[in-house]
Amino acid sequence: MRRFPREYCGIFGVYGHPEAAKLTYFGLYALQHRGQESAGIVASDGKEVHEHKGMGLVSEVFTEQILNALKGHIAIGHVRYSTTGSSTLRNAQPFVVYHLGKTLAIGHNGNIINAYQLRRQLEEDGAIFQSTMDSEIIVHLWVRYFHLGIEEGLAKALSKVKGAYSLVLMTEDTLIAARDPLGFRPLCLGKLKNGGYVVASETCALDLIEAEYIRDVEPGEIIFINEKGMQSLYLPKASRCAHCIFELIYFARPDSQIFGQNVYLFRKRQGYELAKEVPIEADFVMPFPDSGNYVALGYAEATKLPFEMGMIRNHYVGRTFIQPSQSMRTFGVKVKLNPVKELLKGKRIIIMEDSIIRGTTCRTRVKTLRAIGVKEIHLLVSCPPHRFPCYYGIDFSSRGELIAAFKSIEEIRKYLGLDTLYYLSMEGLLKATHIPKEHFCLACFNGDYPVSLEKGFSKDWLERQ
């Protein structure tokens, strides 16, 4: 099965609803696409803090009884996808600690690039660690600056942290949301009908619980919400933004607003741009479901070609699927997607895809299509080739896995067995965003990293702990 590039996490927080944990449950549900490995919720009634975390989907980790025990009007939640192999409960979030009579909880989305240095320094100062999570580093830093006060202490701590982070934090009586100064990962603020507040990785979580979208948490902003209302502190202003463009291209749900743009309409615009750049003669356009859906709609609309859904997805593919025996190895790919032979046979088709990481899944799918007699296969990718690893929270960072880092487009086309392979140009992509180029992190395409790595950076080091 294709190894999708996946972001680490989705985060959610509520202040001011009598069933804050239940709202958080629904919010995480809407954010489940951002992490399926573990889920956790921490809730407080202003005094006592309760938590529950577990491995698996939100719907597996929580029961009615568990949610009822997570009492209180404040809650934060987290869903996690790990790319590192440390898939243990130990690394599930939110992370909860005790310090000087206070209970602190934190959920993190992103990746800190000076984690090694910070951790080393903290350990040299006597700190012990119980996980390999960035969250644990942040909370260690926070308490070091508690003498400045909870609020200023957190601002001071975050000023030491480099990299990508959208955070939800909690004390017994306060909900906190924070976003790094470059705004790598999304984080939005909403208002409940009863006046309470919500923060979430994506607006689709606000929609589900009928919260009104107010605005994004600003890059560099730390919002504190408690009895006294909502206040913000600001980290030193950065000269630019570094929104992860892959959130728009792939991660975010199409019904979300991200970085001020509706994801569905953005993806259609990618299709328009592709139609301008590479008009192809074919019988119809189709996506590899579901990620290519909206680009394909846009391309079809612009080219007046028919849109079809030629590969049928099995909605019951679970996480515990039993592997086929050696003799059945090729079944694997069809477990998830089955082509509609009668539609595809003898046809010239254009397929839309959001990205090609390693190329192995794509190659198998193309083979399957050839086997049932598809005549021509033209693959259009809705962004430039991925040539550089991501250090800010996306899982295509590992060595040698990016097919475009080592092969030319023509070589990739041959490897995949395509008639045509075309990548949307950087210009076309940026045009579709309606956002200035300098607001994005485009490092995975052009190697231009907005926050430079320090000597000794090595996520691996942490993993070996």
Q: Which residues contact 360 (CB under 8 A, 6 or more apart)?
A: 2, 3
Contacts to its own copies from residues 382-411, by CB under 8 A: none
Name the nearest CA neighbour of 137 among 150, 124, 120.
Answer: 120
From 152-160, 200-208, 239-247, 436-444, give the range in contact with its own copies by CB under 8 A: 200-208
* Structure tokens that stand for 452 in this block: 């430079």
Distance CA 306, CA 347 (A): 12
Asked whether the beta carbons of 354 and 295 are under 8 A apart, the reply is: yes
Q: What angle do CA 289, 110, 183 make, to 5 degrees?
A: 95
- Count of CB atoms situated within 10 Å of the CB of 62: 24
Smallest separation (angstroms) from its own copies to the CB of 188 = 14
Q: What are the Cα distances from residue 298, in Å, to 164, 269, 427?
A: 31, 6, 17
Smallest separation (angstroms) from its own copies to the CB of 451 = 25
Smallest separation (angstroms) from its own copies to the CB of 123 = 5
Q: How far apart are the first and last CA of the chain?
A: 30
From 224-232, 249-257, 397-405, 450-458, give the range in contact with its own copies by CB under 8 A: 249-257
Using CB under 8 A as the binding rule, whether residue 85 contacts its own copies is answered as: no
Is 241 assigned a catalytic role?
no
Q: Select 119 or 386, whichever has its Cβ closest to its own copies.
A: 119
The sign one gets for the Cα dihedral 249, 253, 257, 259 is negative
Contacts to its own copies from residues 308-327, by CB under 8 A: 308-309, 312, 314-318, 320-325, 327
Choose, by CB under 8 A, the member of 71, 144, 191, 276 that binds its own copies: 144
Smallest separation (angstroms) from its own copies to the CB of 125 = 7
Q: Select 36 or 117, whichever has its Cβ closest to its own copies.
A: 36
The residues with which 50 forms a beta bridge, in sequence order, are 43
Q: What angle do CA 246, 249, 250 make, to 5 degrees?
A: 80
Count of residues that bind its own copies according to CB under 8 A: 88
Q: Which residues contact 351 (CB under 8 A, 6 or more apart)?
A: 285, 286, 287, 288, 292, 296, 377, 378, 379, 380
Contacts to its own copies from residues 5-64, by CB under 8 A: 19, 22-23, 25-26, 29-30, 32-33, 36, 57-60, 62-64
Here's the x/- map for its own copies, 271-310, by CB under 8 A: it reads as -------------------x--xx--x--xx----xxxx-
Backbone φ, ψ for residue 341 (5° rounding): -50, -50
Contacts to its own copies from residues 86-125, by CB under 8 A: 89, 96-101, 103-104, 120, 123-125
What DSSP state is assigned to residue 281? -
Distance CA 283, CA 278 (A): 15
Choose, by CB under 8 A, the member of 331, 398, 409, 463 that binds its own copies: 331
Q: Select 97 or 435, whichever has its Cβ closest to its own copies.
A: 97
Using CB under 8 A as the binding rule, whether residue 160 contacts its own copies is answered as: no
Using CB under 8 A as the binding rule, whether residue 129 contacts its own copies is answered as: yes
Here's the x/- map for its own copies, 208-237, by CB under 8 A: it reads as xxx---------------------------
By annotation, the residues acting in catalysis are 9
